[in-house]
Amino acid sequence: MPLGLAETAATATRCHCGTDLGNGILACPGCHRLVHAESLKLYREQAEAAARAGDVGAELAAWRLALALVPPQSRQSTLIFEKITALSDAVQSSPTTGPSMWKWLGSLGTAGLILWKFKFLVVALATKGKLLLFGLTKASTIFSMLLSFGVYWTAWGMWFAMGVVLSIYVHEMGHIAALRRFGIASSAPMFIPGLGALIRLKAQRLSPREDARIGLAGPIWGLAAASVCLAAAVAGAGPMWLAIARTGAWLNAFNLLPFWQLDGNRGFAAISRRDRAVLAAVFAAGWIVAGDGLFVLLGIASVARLFNDDAPAHSDMGVVVQFGSLILALAAIVRFAA
């Protein structure tokens, strides 16, 4: 679902040299002193303490806060952004999954195979219980969730509406989990009836690789939720679980559309023109697997993006693999849950 961007504004009034400063001024036009020098020193100390403790997420968060307080074209901004980029690369290359013993999934047949291939997604959900409760502690999330639930209940019935709302919530929490890994603060999810949900992130600059991985994290968690629902249906929980699994998979596939603020557009930020063509072919394969026209639309949109000039020269191959795997896995659930 869409992610918004909220930037931090500085609010100083007068420099030590006597120059008046308007809102948003980060360096004094008179003496060139950084307006937030004391805060920058504090954030640097926090980052250094986090580095000594080996907490990359906290170190990233401190440097991102510092970045918002220096002029964008300054040398300080360049140095801080280089630190953030190096730390972000370290986060992206670090493992995110732990060991598991999931051989029992073979007894679930096709659904078990899907879960086995993507068991790391289910592990992530199972080990992020505290994070999953994060949004449920925020009044804005609870009230907007209840409003969406009421709208969907009127249209589809109580249990199906609950399943869809919770699936959307898990999707949004995937974004938040990725944002936290990269040290980026964000709001709790806000539901919009009929349109899904969104979160607002508080960062001024994201690299294409960060943007792509944060964008795809939502569908990855959404895939895990749909896989769990499919496994529950195969285990005998009833056809309602099949309906929720198919709907969740379809909505997450739709979010792979590479346009506007959708997750697929963020994923394409780190994918070259050549690999965008590869993903267009994978969308075609997804259509063959799912038999759903949505994947034709997604493939056409991917072909259209080949003619844009925003493609990087080289792809983040981790993003390409994630994107392609999502397409095929979601297509499989759409097919098997039909």
In terms of C-beta density within 10 A (0-12 exposed, 13-18 middle, 19 or more buried), how is residue 162 classed? middle
| The pLDDT of residue 281 | 96
Question: Which residues does residue 222 pair with via DSSP β-bridges, in sequence order?
Answer: none
**Distances in whole angstroms, Cα of residue 119 to Cα of each of 103, 228, 300, 330:** 10, 10, 30, 14
Domains defined along the chain, listed by start: 3-93 (1.20.58), 103-336 (no CATH)
Mean pLDDT, contiguous 10-residue spans, the chain (338 residues):
50 67 74 82 89 85 86 85 84 54 43 48 56 77 92 92 94 90 86 86 76 93 92 90 95 94 93 96 96 95 90 91 95 92
Tell me how far the alpha carbon of residue 60 is from its chain's centroid: 17
Record the pTM: 0.78
Contact at 8 Å (CB) between 47 and 57? Answer: no
C-alpha span between 4 and 10 (Å, rounded)? 20
| The pLDDT of residue 258 | 94
| β-strand pairing of 190-192 with 196-202 | antiparallel
